[in-house]
Chains A and B, each alone.
Chain A
Amino acid sequence: MNRTKGDEEEYWNSSKFKAFTFDDEDDELSQLKESKRAVNSLRDFVDDDDDDDLERVSWSGEPVGSISWSIKETAGNSGSSHEGREQLKSRNSFSSYAQLPKPTSTYSLSSFFRGRTRPGSFQSLSDALSDTPAKSYAPELGRPKGEYRDYSNDWSPSDTVRRLRKGKVCSLERFRSLQDKLQLLEEAVSMHDGNVITAVLIFLKRTLSKEILFRELEVRQVALRHLIHFLKEIGDQKLLLDLFRFLDRTEELALSHYREHLNIQDPDKRKEFLKTCIGLPFSSEDSAHIQDHYTLLERQIIIEANDRHLESAGQTEIFRKHPRKASILNMPLVTTLFYSCFYHYTEAEGTFSSPINLKKTFKIPDKQYVLTALAARAKLRAWNDVDALFTTKNWLGYTKKRAPIGFHRVVEILHKNNAPVQILQEYVNLVEDVDTKLNLATKFKCHDVVIDTCRDLKDRQQLLAYRSKVDKGSAEEEKIDALLSSSQIRWKN
């Protein structure tokens, strides 16, 4: 330790009492901060010598020597594999671990597979001499399973299924009559092992015509579900759709077909594919969504082409100031709306990228529209647009502020976007419920609103309490003092 004694004395004396003042018991976060500060202040003292008890951690946070760490290393070095290998060798070189004792233990491998009555004590003499014969916990480990071949031809369906469950290779070819095949399937189902059910289904799929297979599965729902999942997994879309058609499950058929769009990367091809989905027998609600999905992607393709062009031309201010972070293709509807409120807010309703056009086309509810537009304009600090969003004119030409989402929500969103106090204040004042207003004003430090509200409520006590929260000598404090000493107000307390 290099620190001199004097240094340390001063350190302890100065930090100790300051750090631990937990008088303010009810404010949990500040309490937590205090603890954090205290603990951090100890760090200097604690961390300056050996770190031997800490895990060695690589730059990515993985413990050095862990498997995930090592894989990252290989991946990182894969470009120059020779060099990579050298590095790996030096880091975990053969010579260094060759000297290490076997990591697990000195016992032979096989000892682990023997029975023992109590873990931990298997080395003792009594264990070795105990009369319970050693049992094998992994009896099949000695021989790889692949070597279990069975050419016997007379296993019953139930024996066959049992052997399949154990992972043994077992020929199913002798089950040739439909009756035998179905009996095999019934046995598999009654044993509950899905892997075996699938194995039998693979055999049935290969040896039965699909009409017969489908017909038999229609009345065997457990097996049917296994076949459906199997077809999904191996990607046999054609047979899957045939199956749904046979079963008359029109909605699943439609959904299954529609699902394929996920595998199409090219936006134009995906769009064309979605078009083919429009006429499919979805539920009426879903049909509307499919239509919307198609229209949305169509729009996105147009907007994307246009905006990419604008951005690269470098002539449009908004794209220069706020370069796009990602393409708008395949983004959700609300993200698209946000995007268009951000980049295309002032466009006339006639354009595909105008927010109003999106709102109408996709029947976006008012609330959702206002929330999204507000977030987008606030992010750009376009306070006039925010103002306009909530201003309505009546037939006499008077303006009025209205918010379908409630002004408390407006204030929160503005605050999240770092709106200045003057702006916040304006909207806090529009909150109808007095308590909510007071809370929000206090939370966001809109002093004037708090002071005026207290005055209107004639709540002298609250005003007095608030005085301690404003800066000394500030205009707010003066204002409070003026009110408190005013003889015009009849305080209620």
Chain B
Amino acid sequence: MAFPHRPDAPELPDFSMLKRLARDQLIYLLEQLPGKKDLFIEADLMSPLDRIANVSILKQHEVDKLYKVENKPALSSSEQLCFLVRPRIKNMRYIASLVNADKLAGRTRKYKVIFSPQKFYACEMVLEEEGIYGDVSCDEWAFSLLPLDVDLLSMELPEFFRDYFLEGDQRWINTVAQALHLLSTLYGPFPNCYGIGRCAKMAYELWRNLEEEEDGETKGRRPEIGHIFLLDRDVDFVTALCSQVVYEGLVDDTFRIKCGSVDFGPEVTSSDKSLKVLLNAEDKVFNEIRNEHFSNVFGFLSQKARNLQAQYDRRRGMDIKQMKNFVSQELKGLKQEHRLLSLHIGACESIMKKKTKQDFQELIKTEHALLEGFNIRESTSYIEEHIDRQVSPIESLRLMCLLSITENGDARCSSDTHYGPEHLLTFSNLRRAGLLTEQAPGDTLTAVESKVSKLVTDKAAGKITDAFSSLAKRSNFRAISKKLNLIPRVDGEYDLKVPRDMAYVFSGAYVPLSCRIIEQVLERRSWQGLDEVVRLLNCSDFAFTDMTKEDKASSESLRLILVVFLGGCTFSEISALRFLGREKGYRFIFLTTAVTNSARLMEAMSEVKA
């Protein structure tokens, strides 16, 4: 269990510095508003903030009371109000309503808005329009990298996915570039850069610009991380749409891991209260099972339970002195392990119960059939039945998307009639984002495209084609799968206990496309020989490599790889790459705009009231 790293695997850089940096910046900003103040925090920032600071730190910097930013009048009686928010229009309106109410009541207070991770001009415009520009002071808290684990950095920006991949808004690209710039200042330049996807390319270019402007910063530094790989989520939707079966992914799918911690309800804790549990490498039990296929986890946990019992049993026959030693030295560790063990056993049990209820087996079978491309008729009727039964609308949507992408839009369920009229907007969004593909829109697009290109000069026409390419593209999944060998040929049973390739994260049925691409490029140190794949991915213009001379990079750093997922990555992908790392003696570091899964992708596509 829990395969060890190869002895020559490099050490991971220490990312806890990022936390200190963020905390100290925040303290600095709070001190910019001297004196007692009430702090209003946006709900989405609370968990990330909890990971780097606590109440007493805030109190030390004269924060009196804490409030959540929500659409309610503020009851604060403080003379100074500080708002810690994401740069969103609705937050600006909320602040404006507060300030304007004060003005109306003839009350003067000091207001400060701290935008995290950065301020947007659209927000300032709203402040101006509402007549409070100048009444509030604005600042930026560039907290864009939260280390969730020793090898996982999250920007905690789930909205990146919708903003870019649905709306085509590039507002977060600068944030990504800034984050990469910070990493290179702290951990040295990256000698080898690779990337695929339109957004990846833009982020890379903007980052390079930044480095040039502030040149000298990283020059002369020895690189700590040898490679960086940027990847757009829409290069591989399929992997993110699959049900997860490695433990950490399954826990995320079942209980939703939020900002590195999970709320285990009474059904898991076997008590009457819920428990918030941090899930990371420090949890020794979790660390050993997180990357395992779920079927292995039971055996491991019972072995652990047996060992634990044996260790407790040693108490028998101890003399006083030995007992004293045992209590003072070992008992605490054993108790800790005991607590963790019972939590994860409870979680497994609860997962089993839920999954059995959902016919998980049948669901997985259908997914595998879709991935492999056989029995499409059967899968289609399974999905239709799934919709009819209204098991879960999000789940049905996910299956429809999986069917549509793997079959390149050729297969369709008679979904709409079954689905009911209320999902019209969601369907339209899914189509726009390329999660649902159909043949017809491709043709209409070309029509629009040619109409538009007649209007403009040739140079601009090229740009338009670019802009359309993400909309018009077809998935070509089947062809890509063949080219990259994503469906392993297995004689007999795939032994999930001793995985032979990354496919183990999907029960041996499918190698995650994103991870396979990364593996192939790292092996070649370029995109050479992958032209056809890149073409099929509709990324001919957006696959790039950039190498600098490697004389300064140590061989150790060359086995450290930073993978940047733009639009989110799943725990299954993380597990698969950790596996690849162990096989090849690499260590991967993950930087993602947010950790995602199929449900989150689907939810991001639904429309709610403004």
Contacts and interface: CB of A to CB of B under 8 A. Distances in A.
Counting contact residues on chain B (CB < 8 A from A), the size range is 35 or more
B610 A262 contact: yes
A34 interface: yes
B302 A31 contact: yes
A230 B125 CA distance: 11
Contacts, number: 307
Contacts of B299: 28, 31
A66 B309 contact: no
A61 B16 CA distance: 26
Highest count of chain B CB atoms <10 Å: which of A71, A84, A259: A71
A290 B424 contact: yes
B59 A94 contact: yes
Interface stretch (B114-122, B553-561, B572-580): B114-122
Given A54-B339, A119-B14, A119-B16, A39 B305 contact: yes
A42 B169 CA distance: 55
A191 B21 contact: no
A324 interface: no
B101 interface: no
Interface in B23-77: 23-25, 27-28, 32, 41, 46-47, 49-50, 53-60, 64-68, 75, 77
Contacts of A62: 276
A459 interface: no
B422 A333 contact: yes
B270 interface: yes
Interface in B330-360: 332, 334-336, 338-339, 341-342, 345-346, 348-349, 352
B24 A112 contact: yes
Contacts of A12: 313, 316
B14 A34 contact: no
A192 B206 contact: yes
Given A39-B342, A192-B170, A226-B170, A67 B53 contact: yes
Given A32-B301, A35-B345, A46 B338 contact: yes
A109 B27 contact: yes
Contact of A32 (B119, B125, B345): B345
Given A146-B137, A219-B464, A229-B167, A192 B421 contact: no
Interface in B239-281: 263, 270, 273-276
Given A92-B56, A119-B14, A222-B463, A192 B202 contact: yes
A57 B171 CA distance: 38
Highest count of chain A CB atoms <10 Å: which of B213, B217, B304, B420: B420
Contacts of B352: 29, 32
A38 B168 contact: no
Given A221-B467, A368-B388, A42 B312 contact: yes
Contact of B122 (A75, A234, A258, A367): A234
B122 A230 contact: yes
Contacts of A104: 20, 23-24, 27, 57
Contact of B607 (A59, A259, A286): A259
A195 B118 contact: yes
Counting contact residues on chain A (CB < 8 A from B), the size range is 35 or more
A167 B140 CA distance: 9
Contacts of A363: 417
B336 A365 contact: no
Interface stretch (A136-144, A347-355, A469-477): A136-144
Contacts of A229: 163, 167-169
B139 A109 contact: no
B452 interface: yes
A322 interface: no
B460 interface: yes
A388 to B, nearest CB: 20
A178 interface: no
Contacts of B484: none
A368 to B, nearest CB: 4
Contacts of B422: 293, 332-333
14 contacts: A32-B352, A36-B342, A59-B273, A74-B65, A85-B64, A97-B56, A103-B54, A112-B20, A199-B122, A226-B169, A232-B167, A263-B609, A293-B421, A368-B387
Report, nearest first, the 8 A-B pairs whose CB atoms are least far apart. Answer: A194-B170, A221-B467, A194-B171, A225-B168, A333-B420, A199-B121, A61-B274, A293-B421
Interface of A: 12, 16, 19-20, 22, 28-29, 31-36, 38-40, 42-43, 45-46, 53-54, 57, 59-63, 65-71, 74-75, 78, 81, 84-85, 88, 92, 94, 97, 100, 102-104, 109, 112-113, 119-120, 132, 135, 137-138, 141, 144-146, 162, 164-165, 167, 191-199, 202, 218-222, 225-226, 228-230, 232-235, 255, 258-259, 262-263, 285-286, 289-290, 292-293, 296, 332-335, 363, 365, 367-368, 371-372, 405, 409
